[in-house]
Amino acid sequence: MNGIVLVNKPANLTSRDVVNLVSKKLNIKKIGHTGTLDPLATGVLVLTVNQATKISELITSYDKEYIAEVVLGIETDTLDITGNILKETKTRFTKKEIENVLNKMIGFYDQEVPIYSAVKINGKRLYEYARSNEEVLLPKRLVNIKSLELVSDIDYIDNKTVFKIKCLVSKGTYIRSLIKDLASNLNTIGTMKNLTRTKQGNFKIEDSVLLSEVDNSKIIPLKDCLNNYFQVSINDDLFNKVKHGQILDNIYNKKEVVFVYRSEVIAIYKEYQSNKLKPWKMFV
């Protein structure tokens, strides 16, 4: 079966660990994930199964929503609470001070990629530089913070300011870095204590299953995974044309068209001229 499995990832497992466990449970070798969650993090992890691995890049590009717990007054090497503490300071910020900064951070900005990440520089992953204590210029990425709000009361624990934020962000945004920048905008230091991905595109945490619940019945068919795209059910004649990758007239006036034959997705076509469609993803 081709489709996706929505897993509510538990803490203390890597995304690859989850892929391996689900692969074993379903006895399916061709499984991938569509956006890494750190071991500390929990929540929505979208796994693609069999032919659906071809749409991984689509799902990876979706906006993501998170709830993160912030501790102001601690700096770690990994930018989260699992790392080595580099600095500590006393903090006591008010709700108004925090909300003012959160509001100012909404929009586009160049975010520095954390040193403990899998991004490659000169063929080497950043975390490898960190582990060997090698200096490297950290790259920056343009990210879009679409919403950012305080979603908890503010606690003052051990002379630290602790609270939760909810954010909707573009692909490539590191919440650890966002929290570092939030702290910097308050002229202090901060780290991430907990993180839950609550949404990726239209895939929500309430629709996700625990690892213990995963079985073949939890595979969402490819057709349902692509229900936010324009879909066309086709006859035998058009099926033969699509199956052989023929260029088609764009009579639908859409940038992407999902072709469905006998309830199965067989291809996604993409506009390449004003009135033509060509194959983009093939599933036959």
Output DSSP code: residue 251. T
Judge if 151 and 100 occupy the same domain.
Answer: yes
Find residue 103's DSSP bridge partners. Answer: none
Catalytic residue flag (residue 80) = no
Short-list 164, 170, 174, 166, CA closest to 146: 170
- What would the two tokens of residue 42 be? 């929990």
Judge if 79 and 152 occupy the same domain.
Answer: yes
Measured distance CA(114)–CA(11) in Å, rounded: 20
Which sign, positive or negative, has the C-alpha torsion 111, 113, 119, 122?
A: positive
Q: What's the CATH number where 276 sits?
A: 2.30.130.10
Question: Total domain count for the chain?
Answer: 3
Pairing of strands 42-49, 3-9: antiparallel
Judge if 37 and 122 occupy the same domain.
Answer: no
3-state secondary structure string across 79-91: CECCCCEEEECCC
Q: What's the CATH number where 13 sits?
A: 3.30.2350.10
Judge if 259 and 248 occupy the same domain.
Answer: yes
Q: Are the beta carbons of 195 and 68 closer than 8 angstroms?
A: yes
Q: Which of 17, 38, 215, 249 is catalytic?
A: 38
Judge if 84 and 172 occupy the same domain.
Answer: yes
Judge if 135 and 78 occupy the same domain.
Answer: yes
Task: Please report the pLDDT score of residue 244 as a whole number.
Answer: 96
Note down the domain range covering 274.
229-282
Judge if 146 and 82 occupy the same domain.
Answer: yes
Task: Please report the pLDDT score of residue 117 as a whole number.
Answer: 87
Q: CB under 8 Å to 32, separation ≥6 — which residues?
A: 19, 47, 48, 53, 56
Residue 251 lies in a domain: yes
Judge if 73 and 160 occupy the same domain.
Answer: yes
Measured distance CA(240)–CA(230) in Å, rounded: 20
Judge if 82 and 58 occupy the same domain.
Answer: no
Residue 142 lies in a domain: yes
Averages of pLDDT over each 10 residues, the chain, 284 residues:
94 95 96 91 96 92 96 97 97 98 98 90 89 90 97 98 98 96 98 98 96 95 93 97 96 96 96 92 94
Task: Please report the pLDDT score of residue 252 as a whole number.
Answer: 95
Judge if 26 and 74 occupy the same domain.
Answer: no
* Cα of 200 vs its chain's centroid, Å: 6
